[in-house]
Copies of this chain bind each other. A is one copy, B any other.
């Protein structure tokens, strides 16, 4: 083994700067763990003149990515530049050139993960991606090592910090979605274009990665059914609270009899559920294994240093593998053929908020429609709306299958005593 391990970075934003800073500050511990020093040899950036929060010698910087990818002395490439298609080409080049890769890029792994892992294994290279899901939480290791003996049945994740921050603040302060989003943008918890976060796409990418790993099945982004939080109202959250629930944007991956469903949507959880206590920008992944039962991994889902910690932990794993001469060996092909559930196999409870005409017979018409689809009520709340001739009916159903629920939903929307279906959400985490 080389007297030192040399690392090249592509990208030097907040995560990249954090990686450089940790490597510099924790040199002793790193050397102790892997038996040799680790140095950053070259860093590719777009703009050489930009100010950076870490000190890097200017002759180590380059604006030519190839200078890093083809440097014969570099052992490991750390990809923290982001992007999908061009980045895929860079990572492929690196792997084909015999370099190990550590990436923090969820977009890349969600879309091209299967291909990149295959190419890595073919070239006896490592490809690690702990930082791509839930920043500082070692959930990828949790699934691949810690729970390796178990059969994972269900993964529920709060894997997007922006939306969790927004929902937490809406609940705590009774504020509107728009007000909280604006505040979150000011504080840097939301992007100026928040679409990927608030519409659930970011969470969906992470759930595709977790489902692929947890179920040993090639689940792609297109397999994830996605709904964001932009239409959640403060009234919805108020009713949740009254009924003993917390609303979270939950990424759900579930397996029953070898068939899986993966979704991201605003979901009601009982207040006692471990995920209900995950507030603000924090992330958490709840895993239900056949043998282990309930476990949860909690921590910061983003941020320069937490994410950089995950990257450097991956780097440590690569360096250990290099020392042991076993790089790429641990990458596994999926065990199971991708098999998705049909709607009639997807079982859940639902929250519905209906605006109904406040007159005799309405309630009976609504309840008998539910009964005709064999959907019974777990909780029911009817509230007159002051000064109007309408009332609100809030329902939490017992379990039903999605096909049945969608049919019921359509009939409800056509029923003449129902003025509108104000909102509907999935309810999880109970018995």
Contact = CB atoms under 8 A, between A and B. Distances in A.
A192 interface: no
Interface string A295-320: 11111100101101111110111001
A161 interface: no
Give the size range of A's interface with the partner.
35 or more
B296 A298 contact: yes
Q: Which of A303, A315, A323, A326 has the most CB of B within 10 A?
A: A326
A272 B280 CA distance: 12
Contacts of A20: none
Nearest to A299: B295
A194 B431 CA distance: 32
A146 B313 contact: yes
A43 to B, nearest CB: 18
A151 B29 contact: yes
A87 to B, nearest CB: 23
Contacts of A22: 149-150, 291
A316 B149 contact: yes
Interface stretch (A136-144, A178-186, A249-257): A136-144
Nearest to A21: B291
Given A142-B138, A149-B315, A216-B32, A292 B299 contact: yes
A399 B369 CA distance: 62
Contact of A138 (B145, B291, B335): B145
Contacts of A293: 136, 299-300, 303, 305-306
Nearest to A274: B298
A33 interface: yes
A137 B216 CA distance: 21
A324 to B, nearest CB: 4
A329 interface: yes
Contacts of A300: 292-295
Nearest to A303: B293
A26 B292 CA distance: 13
Nearest to A278: B274
Contact of A326 (B279, B296, B305, B324): B324
Contacts of A317: 145, 148
Nearest to A308: B291
Contacts of A329: 323-324
A11 to B, nearest CB: 18
A421 interface: no
A72 to B, nearest CB: 26
Contacts of A136: 289, 291-293, 295
A33 B299 CA distance: 28
A18 interface: yes
Interface string A311-351: 11101110010011010011010010000000000000000
Contacts of A216: 29, 32
Nearest to A333: B32
Interface in A139-165: 141-142, 145-151
Contact of A26 (B26, B149, B315): B149
Nearest to A152: B29
A211 interface: no
Contacts of A29: 151, 216, 335
Contacts of A316: 145, 148-149
Contacts of A130: 146
Contacts of A148: 33, 312-313, 316-317
B30 A149 contact: yes
9 contacts: A22-B149, A147-B313, A148-B313, A149-B309, A150-B313, A291-B308, A292-B310, A295-B297, A326-B326
